[in-house]
Copies of this chain bind each other. A is one copy, B any other.
Amino acid sequence: MRVGIIGAGTVGAALIDLLSDTSRVDALIDAAGSRLELVAVAIRDTTRVRSHIPAHLLVDSAEKIASDPTIDVVVELMGGTSVAHELITTALQRGASVVTANKALLALSGTALSALARDNATDLFYEGAVGGGIPILRALRTSLAGERINRVMGIVNGTTNFILSKMTSEGSEYASVLSEAQSLGYAESDPTADVEGFDAAAKVTILSSLAFGTALDGSAIYREGITKIRLADVEFATRNGYVIKLLGISERVGASAISQRVHPAMVAKGHPLASVAGAFNAVFVEGASSGPLMWLGQGAGGAPTAAAVLGDVVAAARNKVTKRFDVPFSVDTTLGTFPMGELQSAFYITLNVIDRPGVLSAVTSVFGDHDVSIRSMEQSGFGDEAHLMFVTHIAFESDVSATLVDLAKLEVVEEIGSCIRLIGVDG
């Protein structure tokens, strides 16, 4: 089996090391049913010294690898959505198997590319695109293929989990932890894709397609990031037995609708996701028969992601040897998108108010007007600095949104602070 790799960044370099490890050759032959021979690595600038890549493997044209009829498995690790899309299309059209970790491309064009793979009787695998080294996608494709899945809920962005974990353990505000994460290399200098939830949204879209047969359509997802989380929220969570996590969720609601969303949540400490700290990722799956299942592992990094990519290369090679291919997810056209406003949840809501007689009555009557029932209230500070923290009973999203709009109109409310959904021990 001849393998070509497009792109030799962190993941590509780690994959080259794995494929070049002589102590693993026999194990890989056992697993793949054939020797995996790395025959070409395409990089942008072949004049740069790459001590770990044998010079005779280097080619300067990714197109050569995509279109070379002797290459059985094409591994796309260059990133980006435009050129990568062309290369993958070229490779699939000629019947090559394609392995990629390009979550942005998949969230955008995964439905069409998967169909293209099926039409050409070949495989498009992308285990490395979600959860780094965690082998969750193949489990959804295979072990859970017969299972009715009701919910997939994941901590799928390591940067935000690192930031939220540090805010909790060190008692620091968001901005200072973000700076620390940036200086440590855990966050990009422009952290938008991570902290605003775009990265998590792409991953949820991929998980959802395999769990439910939703189309890979990144625009269908509701999204909130973590930039508005305050230390006071983290401290409230700790005091009350919760941990704040950025969750990506896709779930069945009612008979024929799916809700996909990314937002911070206060997760009860007894929930398995609550103990997933630092740069770990985890995906929690609720199956009708299997009950709760969770996968945990390192969500990023060259070696873990390369391990996931290698698993795909092995599977693709084995399929080529036995002349079969895995059927990709098929889009279930009967499924609709559940309206966000009709979802129900308990909420944590904070307000800065002017502390004067009658303020609490004015505030709580707004909640009542919208049928949002209050479970608990805490106050800190006084005078102009009074800070109210509410936890509601289960309420409709639309009612809570309307409550916030009307609260903002009150003269005594200086600022709406946070509004964070709660996840109990049992979901």
Contact = CB atoms under 8 A, between A and B. Distances in A.
A367 to B, nearest CB: 35
Contacts of A142: 135, 138, 142, 311, 314-315
A417 interface: no
Interface residues of A, number: 53
Given A138-B139, A297-B292, A301-B291, A314 B145 contact: yes
B134 A293 contact: yes
B272 A289 contact: no
Contacts of A28: 146
Nearest to A303: B289
Contacts of A324: 322, 324
A176 B18 CA distance: 52
Interface in A109-153: 127, 133-135, 138-139, 142-148
A33 interface: yes
Contacts of A30: 145, 327, 330
Given A296-B294, A297-B294, A287 B145 contact: no
Interface of A, helix, strand, loop or mixed by DSSP? mixed
A402 interface: no
A280 B284 CA distance: 14
A143 B311 CA distance: 5
B303 A146 contact: no
9 contacts: A33-B327, A133-B293, A139-B139, A290-B298, A290-B307, A292-B296, A293-B295, A293-B296, A295-B295
Nearest first, the 10 closest Cβ-Cβ pairs linking A and B are A135-B143, A31-B145, A289-B307, A133-B290, A290-B307, A293-B297, A294-B296, A143-B311, A275-B275, A146-B310
A278 to B, nearest CB: 10
Contacts of A50: none
A154 to B, nearest CB: 13
A121 B31 CA distance: 16
A304 interface: yes
Query: What's the number of copies of this chain in the assembled complex?
Result: 2
Given A134-B293, A298-B292, A144 B327 contact: no
Contacts of A33: 327
B145 A138 contact: no
Interface string A300-344: 010110111011011100000010100100100000000000000
A44 interface: no
A193 interface: no
B18 A146 contact: yes
Nearest to A296: B294
A324 B293 CA distance: 29
B304 A297 contact: no
B147 A143 contact: no
A14 interface: yes
